[in-house]
Structure 1
Amino acid sequence: MLQIEVVHMDTLFWKPGWLQSTPEELLAKQEIHLKKSSWIIEGNYSSVWEKRLKTADTVIFLDMNRYLCIYRALKRWMKYRGTIREDLGPGCPDRMNIEFLSYIWQFPNQRRDKIIKNTFDQCRHAQIFLIKNKQGTDKLVNQIISLNT
């Protein structure tokens, strides 16, 4: 929609066969994109977000209900299981496990507040959108469309 490449942190983090990148590797891969004149980076990965947050002019945090997140993860898995989605990277066929579902379920209790605090602390220079539902997402998309027409 904005004619800007979308980079998925999962494609930077996961190497073929679901092998993890080291923090140094992930930082170097991310840096390639941060040097571009414009970028959209989707994903979290708090181990390397400091420079991303300091460089971003806009941050969109999707703060959706955990039930919805679990539902959408399972729905996506049912659709793509065994195939390689473009947001996962080569050699990483879609999979589902209890650890991932547990991560989603625990996210609001274990990570949400830290991420929001760090975002607001490190992004005083940026627009920050905290989206809590589909209506909020639709509203933001419509604002972006109206700005680009």
Structure 2
Amino acid sequence: MAPPPPLVGDAHGNYRVHIVGNSVGKGLADLLGVPFIPLDTLFWKPGWKQSTNDELRAKVEQALANAPNGWVVDGNYHSKIGTVVEDQSTDVICAFSSLPGCQNNTDAPALTGLDPPLALYLPRVIWRTFLRLLRLREPCSPGCSEMVSEVFFSRESIVWWCITQHRIVRERESARMAQIGIGIGSDVDKQKMRRIGGWGEELRAWFRDVKRMLQCE
């Protein structure tokens, strides 16, 4: 059986990609030549003020409408905006760390290894957060500089979110993969989901496959 393509796209060679997991979106958007749309930037207002669900959905819908030839959306605000991104996407990429026995192929067995252990990626999240605290990395949204009190003592912090939402996200994305995974999905009309390793050779190999695919178009 032939391996699935690195991206599905539409019948006109346009790619609307939703990235879930480790951030690979900017590099992919640059490669495809389409706008990069990070949902964190749309959600957070200066001073760490949150957009309402209606505000966020309107911002997302407008951003997608402004990119008719394709886009790469990074982030997952399913509880706030529903499936507005997923419904319009041609591809849903789960970019997570590779785990033994869970390589990306059409013969993949159970989806228990969809996400990396919390102990693996939480230190990486903390490290990126420290870089933002030291102003060595751009904030997730303009006017939203990291503060020690927010990072470690707020329930809105990314560190707290990772700890409390890890199992919830794992179960939700496993269910989506079971339905719309290429080669193994149960919904054959909407198979557009791929799982790739968020770090290491698997991710690099996938980017090489995308480049070769674009060169052949």
Identity among equivalent pairs (%): 22
Report what 1:139 is aligned to. 205
Q: Residue 130 of structure 1: SS of its match in structure 2?
A: strand
Tell me the equivalent position of 1:43. 75
Q: SS of 2:211's equivalent?
A: helix
Higher relative contact order (CA 8 A, sep 6+): 1
Q: 1:5 aligns with which of 35, 55, 59?
A: 35
Higher helix share: 1
114-123 vs 21-30, greater mean Cα deviation: 114-123
Following superposition, the deviation at residue 67 of structure 1 comes to 2.4
User: If the length of structure 2 is used for normalisation, what is the TM-score?
Assistant: 0.60
1:91 corresponds to 2:143: yes
Find the counterpart in structure 1 of residue 162 from structure 2.
104
CA–CA distance in structure 1, aligned partners of residues 175 and 86 of structure 2: 12
Say how many residue pairs are matched: 148
- Give, in whole Å, the separation in 2 of the partners of 1:112 and 1:43: 14
Where in structure 2 are the equivalents of 1:11-50 lying within 5 Å?
Answer: 11-35=41-65, 36-37=67-68, 38-46=70-78, 47-50=80-83
Instruction: Give 1:50 shift.
Output: 0.6
Q: Distance in 2 between matches of 1:24 and 1:74?
A: 30
| Equivalent in the alignment of 1:117 | 175
Q: Which has more radius of gyration?
A: 2
Q: RMSD of the TM alignment (CA)? A: 2.4
Unaligned runs of 5+ in 2: 1-30, 98-115, 182-186
The TM-score normalised by the length of structure 1 is: 0.84
In the aligned structure 2, how far is the partner of 1:16 from the partner of 1:79? 19
